[in-house]
Amino acid sequence: MCTTCGCSNTRSAAVTDLDEAVEAGTQSQGTTAGAGSAGTAYRRVSSNHLVGVSAHSHSHSHSHHDDHVHDHGDVHHHHEHHHEHEHSTSINLERDILAKNQLLAERNRGWLAGRSILALNLMSSPGAGKTTLLERTIRDLGNAFPLTVIEGDQATLNDAERIRATGARVVQINTGTGCHLDAEMASRALTQLDPPLHSVVMIENVGNLVCPALFDLGEAAKVLILSVTEGEDKPIKYPHMFRACSLLLLNKIDLLPHLRFDVERCIEYAKRVNPQMNILQVSAQSGEGMEAWYGWLRSRAATASP
């Protein structure tokens, strides 16, 4: 996981409230692509809206190396031993990171439950259609359905800008090198977002089918979007992600006539990995199948806000 793949290494995350807006080019934002072209007047974000977090330094996993020398001077042995140390320290570090994340996630869950807010964690590989799905959902359900959004991406405010264009309130988290959101980032974004009581918060995670599955944000449910252009074997190739999610939205079904994608096989694979998984076929572009998603959403929202 992340201490191994390196994505947690000395990263920093920035939370940007689009209603507070930013001046294009402020330090933490890097590429605020679209900021100028959208014609929005940006001003500088006050320091409490752009908070850097250092996370998970790797220094710990190297600490045994230099002073651990064997009497017999077997260089090869020494080398392997060093890696064993590093490996076990790395596993401990991973366990600590996940344990700490779990605590913060439970705190978020309590905070949300106390306000009767339904939070959903939307995950997929890059480009499966998370933001398109949210745009359409917000437009179709209208003001009668109170919905706010937390957007997660490594860089840019692009997705937050798209959500804001629908009229919904949105906060963007930029993770820098990080490939997933974690509970601390979600907590900061929720504080900034300040969602109303009895509402729904959609958290669009960073596009990635691996690490986001490991990090609980305090959501009520994880929703997976898989697009038909990705191939029907994804459930068995990324079983952890499919196991973690309660709902699969099989998106871009409008493209099926142009592809070789076996829907039945994909569903069979998903059920094999997660027999409890609900599966709905949708097109966020054409609107086909979206009513079933809205039905699922309404019933979950009713449970969170009795």
Binding region for ligand GTP (CB under 6 A): 124, 126-132, 153, 159, 207, 251-252, 254-255, 283-285
The pair phi, psi for residue 151, each rounded to 5°, is -105, 130
Cβ distance to ligand GTP smaller for residue 187 or 251: 251
Q: In angstroms, what is the minimal distance from the CB of 251 to ligand GTP?
A: 5
Q: In angstroms, what is the minimal distance from the CB of 278 to ligand GTP?
A: 18
Q: In angstroms, what is the minimal distance from the CB of 126 to Mg ion?
A: 8
- Alpha helices by DSSP H, listed for 157-246, are 158-164, 183-193, 234-237, 239-244
Q: Do residues 201 and 150 make contact, with C-beta atoms less than 8 angstroms apart?
A: yes
159 binds Mg ion (CB under 5 A): yes
Cβ distance to ligand GTP smaller for residue 207 or 235: 207
Chain position carrying tokens 């692509």: 33
List, as one string, the DSSP characters of 252-278. Answer: -GGGGGGS---HHHHHHHHHHH-TT-E
Beta-bridge mates of residue 223 = 122, 247
Cβ distance to ligand GTP smaller for residue 97 or 228: 228
Assigned token pair, 59: 């220094």
192 binds Mg ion (CB under 5 A): no
Binding mask 105-144 for Mg ion (x = CB under 5 A): -------------------------xx-------------
Q: Using CB atoms, what's the residue nearest to Mg ion?
A: 131
What does the longest C-alpha to C-alpha distance in the chain come to?
75
Cβ distance to ligand GTP smaller for residue 121 or 124: 124
Q: In angstroms, what is the minimal distance from the CB of 305 to Mg ion?
A: 26
Q: In angstroms, what is the minimal distance from the CB of 74 to ligand GTP?
A: 49
Q: In angstroms, what is the minimal distance from the CB of 145 to ligand GTP?
A: 20
Chain position carrying tokens 């990263």: 11
Taking the C-alpha atoms of residue 73 and residue 267, their distance in angstroms, rounded to an integer, is: 57
The footprint of Mg ion on this chain (CB under 5 A) covers a number of residues equal to: 3
Q: Using CB atoms, what's the residue nearest to ligand GTP?
A: 207
Residues in the chain: 306
76: buried, middle or exposed (CB in 10 Å: 19+, 13-18, 0-12)? exposed
Footprint of Mg ion (CB under 5 A): 130-131, 159
